Structure formats: C-alpha cells, structure tokens
C-alpha cells in the first residue's frame, strides 16, 4: 500500500521536536495538540490544526484546503488507474462451449434430482397453501416457475 501524502495543513505547521504530540504553527507559533501524551503515532490527528488555521489564518486555510482537495483528487486518480490495471489482469472464466450452452437449455429428465425435488416442493406448497392441484396448470404459475428455472418442467395435475 502506498504511503499517504502529508495533509495540506503541514504547509503551515511543523512537528514539535521535543513533544511529537504537539505541532507548532509556523505563522503565529501557537502549539496545537495532535494526540494525548504517550499516544501511538496512529492516533495522531490534524483536526485541531485545521481548526486553528480556519479560525485564525483564513487565507492560509484556503491554501491548505486546496492542497487537501488536490491530494484527494490525486488519490482518486491513482485508485482508478489501479482498478483499470486490475481489470486487465483479472482471469475471466472461459467462455462456455456450444455443447455446454445447449445442455443448459435442455429440460431436466424426469428422474433428475432437481426435477424430483421441485415436484415435491410444489406438492408440499399446494398442500400447505390449500391450493387445488389445477394450480400447476395456470399459465402465470407455469411462467413464474419457468422464470426461476427454465429447465424445470411443471408437473401436470392429471
């Protein structure tokens, strides 16, 4: 993972040499707390520095904010480029053959596991919902089942 660019706020602050939890404003020399004493560097933040710039140095805040936006745009461009490269090198599944495609179009044989399971489920549903067996011959019911699985043959009520 690439290292992040420094925040635009660092154009107007420098890290305090003696106390890394503090940052010194290079404009007015005010010290701003970045973290609690003894905190790990991962816990350091720049929000107080941003607030100081915005409240006390609006012109410099604008410059820092523009740098932040430019950095954000740069990261976005880099991520888009990385995504494009990844798309090029993604291994795609092999296109199916005509034989495989035609097999997918065939109806299940009557002894096929999915055909039998589907027939049983329809039977259980008819009983549970108190529907007449002729429901399976309803055109909309047949279309609905075909939508879910084109290979399944709806059993006849006869």
**Is 154 in contact with 142 (CB distance < 8 Å)?**
yes
Are 9 and 47 contacting, i.e. CB atoms less than 8 angstroms apart?
Answer: no
What is the tens place of the pLDDT at every residue in 67-82? 999 988 999 999 998 8
pTM: 0.49
Q: Which residues contact 107 (CB under 8 A, 6 or more apart)?
A: 151, 152, 153
Please report the sign of the dihedral spanned by the C-alpha atoms of residue 139, residue 145, residue 151, residue 153: negative
Among 18, 20, 15, residue whose Cα is nearest residue 36 = 20
User: Which two three-digit tokens encode residue 158?
Assistant: 């006869």
**pLDDT on residue 158:** 62
The pLDDT profile of the chain, 158 residues, written as one tens digit per residue, is: 445 568 889 999 999 999 999 999 999 999 999 999 888 888 899 999 999 999 999 999 999 999 999 988 999 999 998 888 877 776 667 777 888 777 777 888 889 999 999 999 999 999 999 999 899 999 999 999 988 888 889 988 66
**What is the pLDDT, as a whole number, of residue 1?**
43
pLDDT at 23: 94
Q: For position 87, what pLDDT does the model report?
A: 74
pLDDT, position 83: 85
Contact (CB, 8 A) for 71 and 10: no
State the helix-helix crossing angle for 47-56 and 58-89, rounded to 10 degrees. Answer: 140
Of the CA atoms within 13 Å of residue 8, those in its CB half-sphere come to: 17
**Residue 107 in tokens:** 């109806």
> For the chain, what percentages of helix, strand and coil (3-state, to nearest 5) are there?
55, 5, 40
């Amino acid at each position: 993972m690439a290292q992040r660019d420094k925040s635009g706020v660092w154009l107007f602050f420098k890290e305090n040499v003696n106390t890394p939890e503090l940052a010194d404003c290079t404009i007015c020399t005010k010290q701003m707390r970045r973290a609690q004493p003894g905190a790990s560097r991962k816990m350091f933040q720049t929000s107080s520095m941003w607030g100081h710039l915005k409240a006390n140095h609006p012109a410099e805040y604008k410059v820092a904010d523009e740098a932040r936006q430019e950095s954000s745009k740069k990261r976005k461009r880099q991520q888009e480029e990385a995504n494009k490269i990844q798309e090029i090198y993604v291994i795609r599944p092999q296109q199916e053959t005509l034989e495989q495609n035609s097999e997918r179009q065939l109806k299940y044989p009557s002894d096929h596991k999915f055909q039998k399971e589907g027939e049983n489920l329809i039977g259980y549903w008819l009983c549970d919902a108190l529907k007449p067996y002729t429901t399976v011959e309803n055109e909309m019911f047949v279309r609905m089942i075909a939508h879910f699985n084109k290979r399944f043959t709806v059993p006849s009520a006869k």
